[in-house]
Amino acid sequence: MTSDVRAVLFDLGGVILSSPIDGFLAYEAEAGLPRGFLQGLNVRDPDTNAWARMERGEISEDEFYARFEAEARAEGRAIDAREVLRRLTGRVRPEMVAVLRTLRARYTTLCVTNNMRIGLGTAMASSPELAAEIADVLALFAHVVESCKIGARKPERRFFEHACRIAGVGPEACVFLDDLGTNLKTARAMGMTTIKVAAPGAAIEELERVLGHSARPA
């Protein structure tokens, strides 16, 4: 398959890094919470809950912790919001970084991430060593779009409009990789080609079909 793609957009956690949902699940298991409880909190009032407001940079760190814990209490459970956030740092996926290195000479590459002004660096890394490793990866992108810096978050349309503006392309010239279907839905409605990342290898193969050529190092 050939395409008119000019820009490739990569989510960070769940695409370039392992999924932050792994951190949610680990915390739930240790804290005796029902599996999926934390994700469930984040789909209630998804535009105005503590998580959404923090990702848009609308509230302080302390206010986020208080609000997020209050939302859990309203559902009959107690959580340590600081510990939840500490668990969210992912591991770099070398195979996805190799794809990024291959494609960056031919396409405009963007990292498009929902994040918070918490922890070390864009990925909220929990250690200086990991923060430095992730910073080296982010330096490979032409642009990095962070929700907490632009006041918009995926899946909001204005987040993707901002990404397209700085890339200098229309949505129809973009392919977007993310691990969450709700984020892909908005992008697809705008005209982007979307790829849901569950297993990195399968996602890379789909990306290659979209682009019409190998995305891996020769």
More confident residue, 158 or 88: 158
Query: Position of tokens 């302390």?
Result: 62
Give the model's confidence band at 89: pLDDT under 50 very low, under 70 low, under 90 confident, else very high. confident
Give the model's confidence band at 138: pLDDT under 50 very low, under 70 low, under 90 confident, else very high. very high
Identify the CATH number of the domain in which residue 38 sits.
1.10.150.240
Which of these, 181, 158, 156, 180, lies nearest to 52 by C-alpha position? 156
pTM of the model: 0.94
Q: What pLDDT does residue 7 have?
A: 98
Asked if 94 and 192 sit in the same domain, the reply is yes
Asked if 106 and 57 sit in the same domain, the reply is no
What is the number of domains present in the chain? 2
Per the domain annotation, does 57 fall within a domain?
A: yes
Asked if 139 and 128 sit in the same domain, the reply is yes
- How would you classify the pairing of strands 143-146 and 108-113? parallel
Give the model's confidence band at 130: pLDDT under 50 very low, under 70 low, under 90 confident, else very high. confident
- In the listed set 36, 69, 86, which residue is the last one of a domain according to the structure? 86
Per the domain annotation, does 177 fall within a domain?
A: yes
- In the listed set 86, 117, 139, which residue is the last one of a domain according to the structure? 86
Asked if 35 and 99 sit in the same domain, the reply is no
Per the domain annotation, does 2 fall within a domain?
A: no
Judge whether residue 2 has pLDDT over 60.
no
**Rounded mean pLDDT of the chain?**
94
Q: What pLDDT does residue 119 have?
A: 74
Q: Give me the domain span that covers residue 60.
A: 21-86
Per the domain annotation, does 149 fall within a domain?
A: yes
Identify the CATH number of the domain in which residue 163 sits.
3.40.50.1000
Is the distance from CB of 109 to CB of 8 less than 8 angstroms?
yes
CA gap 191, 186 in Å, rounded: 9
Asked if 130 and 27 sit in the same domain, the reply is no
CA gap 107, 121 in Å, rounded: 25
Share of the chain above pLDDT 90, in %: 85
DSSP code per residue over 100-112: HHHHTTTSEEEEE
Per the domain annotation, does 31 fall within a domain?
A: yes
- In the listed set 54, 86, 118, which residue is the last one of a domain according to the structure? 86
Asked if 105 and 194 sit in the same domain, the reply is yes
Asked if 131 and 60 sit in the same domain, the reply is no
The one-letter code for the residue type at 25 is L
Per the domain annotation, does 216 fall within a domain?
A: no
Asked if 166 and 130 sit in the same domain, the reply is yes
CA gap 48, 154 in Å, rounded: 13
Q: In what order do the strands lie in the sheet with 143-146?
A: 143-146, 108-113, 7-10, 174-178, 193-196
Calculate the dihedral angle through the C-alpha atoms of 199, 82, 30, 15, rounding to the nearest 10 degrees.
0
Q: What is the pLDDT of residues 192-209, one digit of tens each?
A: 999 999 999 999 999 999
Q: What pLDDT does residue 34 have?
A: 97
* Mean pLDDT to the nearest integer, 106-127: 86
Is the distance from CB of 107 to CB of 207 less than 8 angstroms?
no
CA gap 68, 54 in Å, rounded: 10
Asked if 95 and 109 sit in the same domain, the reply is yes
Residues with Cβ within 8 Å of 105's Cβ and at least 6 positions away in sequence, in order, are none
